[in-house]
Amino acid sequence: MKFSFSRSMVIARREYLTTVRRKAFLFSLLATPVLVFFSTFVSGKLAADDARAHQREARIIAVVDSAGALANTNTSFEYTPPADVSGPGTRTLANQNSLPLPLPEKVPMIMRDYDSQQAALDSLEAGHVNTVVVLAADFLTSGRARRYEHDTRVFTSSGDDRPLRQWMTRGLLANVDSTRIERVLTLGRGMDLYVPDKGGAYTLKDDTKELTSFFLPFIVGMLLSVSIITGGQYLLQGVSEEKETRILESMLCTVSPDDLVVGKLVGLGGAGLTLVGVWIAAGLALLGTSFAFIQVELPVTLAVVGFAYFVLGYLFYASLMTGIGAVTNNLREAQQMAMIFTMMNFFPFYVLVKLLNSPNSGIAVGMSLFPPTAATSMMLRLAAASMTGAQIPVWQVAASLGLLALTAFVTLKVASKVFRLGLLLYGKTPTLPEIMKLVRQD
């Protein structure tokens, strides 16, 4: 029976409609964007509120000064927290536009001298003090000190000891002009960093954009990976279940194996594209205002290249899933065998920081050219480059797409042959040599 495009489209329509009408698909379609946004918002807000509240707590600190370095220091002072303790710094668009930031309330800090570490720790256990700091006898030469607190948090902020450090700085510089002390304490806050933008002009590096430069490529890469794997999993599940229930035997009486392969690829690929399209639309609707505020512009070419990588990446992985579904006996075996390929698709996230910080490094270029990781790796690099102004050579994008297209075509041909010859294999899952023998058969 010869290949028929019309029959393939009938199968594609049936696969698409069957998939999108499933309750699980509708749940993923509608609930996933809401759950991701809600969990991200709640997680970020709780972390920021926790850090902000912790730095705004009045504290009583027990000091055991074995070195005598802070003998003439005031026993109390008012600590002024940064305007934003949840972020890595204070370089924001508000600074760039000369907008005034609200001044936080001052937090009182009280220091109590103790003769011994044990006495100070006893006060900590009794709840009379919040913190114990012990300075070693050679503190002025070695800088060694210990801090004790009742802190059960898993994640702590790097600024938790900032009030203590400010008090110690004041004590160590007690004989220096007070204006100079204030400059030492706030030196990092007033030093702005300027870096080249996409146009080559030096602009203030904004912490909000810095975070976006990480999260935007991450979201783009994750969407691409999930969409590719989702479509492939639909195909794997469909082929495995239909083979296990022997529905395929009945279907092969009216259509050819090639009709089935093409129809399933088109239908389930369309379902995956629908899923990702809705997620992207929901994400843009939820984050559009934020992106506009921080002046993030996504180039149209990124969407075009992303679509090309989705099509080719899906074709590559879906072909693999088709072959796996055809040679395995049930869905459990198919999922176990497909796990290794799923992990390969997400491998770029294991080296995410390297890809974003050094988009033209050897490992970044190599993973962009290696077909199993090409789609995700290149999209991470391109999304990061769109934010930072880094240049990705055009030849690398062209070579990556070309190699992925060639590999996807070869994989599709091989999977088609395995699908055609392996559909009627039941009982024992063939070994790799047996699969290679199937591929070599005409």
- Give per-residue pLDDT as tens, 25-70: 788 777 777 776 776 667 667 766 776 777 777 788 899 988 888 8
Q: What is the 3-state secondary structure (H, E, C) of the chain?
A: CCCCHHHHHHHHHHHHHHHHCCHHHHHHHHHHHHHHHHHHHHHHHHHHHHHHHHHCCCEEEEEEECCCCCCCCCCEEEECCCCCCCCCCCCCHHHHCCCCCCCCCCEEEEEEECCCHHHHHHHHHHCCCCEEEEECCCHHHHCCEEEEECCCCCCCCCCCCHHHHHHHHHHHCCCCCHHHHHHHHCHHHHCCCEEECCCCCEEECCHHHHHHHHHHHHHHHHHHHHHHHHHHHHHHHHHHHHHHCCHHHHHCCCCCHHHHHHHHHHHHHHHHHHHHHHHHHHHHHHHHHHHHHCCCCCCHHHHHHHHHHHHHHHHHHHHHHHHHHHHCCCHHHHHHHHHHHHHHHHHHHHHHHHHHHCCCCHHHHHHHHCHHHHHHHHHHHHHHHHHHCCCCCHHHHHHHHHHHHHHHHHHHHHHHHHHHHHCCCCCCCCCHHHHHHHHHCC
Kindly provide the b/e burial profile for residues 266-277, where b requires at least 16 CB atoms within 10 angstroms of the residue's own CB. bbbbbbbbbbbe
- Per residue in 144-196, pLDDT (tens digit) is 888 888 766 655 555 567 788 888 887 888 777 777 766 776 665 556 666 66
Q: State the virtual CA torsion across 301, 315, 271, 422 in degrees, nearest 10.
A: 180
Considering only CA atoms, which of 319, 352, 351 is closest in space to residue 338? 319
Give percent of the chain above pLDDT 70.
68
Residues in the chain: 442
For position 398, what pLDDT does the model report? 94
Residue 295 pLDDT class (50, 70, 90 cuts): low
For position 86, what pLDDT does the model report? 44
Does residue 426 register a pLDDT over 60?
no
Mean pLDDT of the chain: 75
**Distance from C-alpha of 210 to C-alpha of 425, rounded to nearest angstrom:** 54
**Distance from C-alpha of 42 to C-alpha of 45, rounded to nearest angstrom:** 5
* 316 residue type, one letter: F
Does residue 438 register a pLDDT over 70?
no
Q: What is the pTM of this model?
A: 0.63
Give percent of the chain above pLDDT 90.
7
Tokens of 382: 């391109």
- 67 vs 441, residue with greater confidence: 67
- Per residue in 327-369, pLDDT (tens digit) is 777 777 777 777 888 888 888 888 888 887 888 889 999 999 9
Considering only CA atoms, which of 169, 190, 189, 197 is closest in space to residue 181? 169
